Amino acid sequence: MNEMNIANARYDVDRDGNNVTIIATIGGVKMHISIPSEGNRHYDEIMRRVEAGTLTIADAE
């Protein structure tokens, strides 16, 4: 129930250009999170913040 520090969120894509992963720095660690991953606390919090408008996931590089 503590606040999670999430920064530098961006998508990563497969060969067909589909968003398949979110890469983000969480608590100072670069994490790779598959899409979707309901039940993963990082994924759930990212999606909650995106829906609340407090986090934006950048396009893949």
Residues that bind another protein (CB under 8 A): 1-3, 5, 12-15, 20-21, 23, 26-34, 37-43, 61
What DSSP string describes 1-61? Answer: -PPP-EEEEEEEE-TT--EEEEEEEETTEEEEEESS-TT-HHHHHHHHHHHHTS--PBPP-
**Minimal distance, residue 1 CB to another protein, in Å:** 7
User: For another protein, which is the closer residue by CB, 39 or 53?
Assistant: 39
User: For another protein, which is the closer residue by CB, 43 or 57?
Assistant: 43
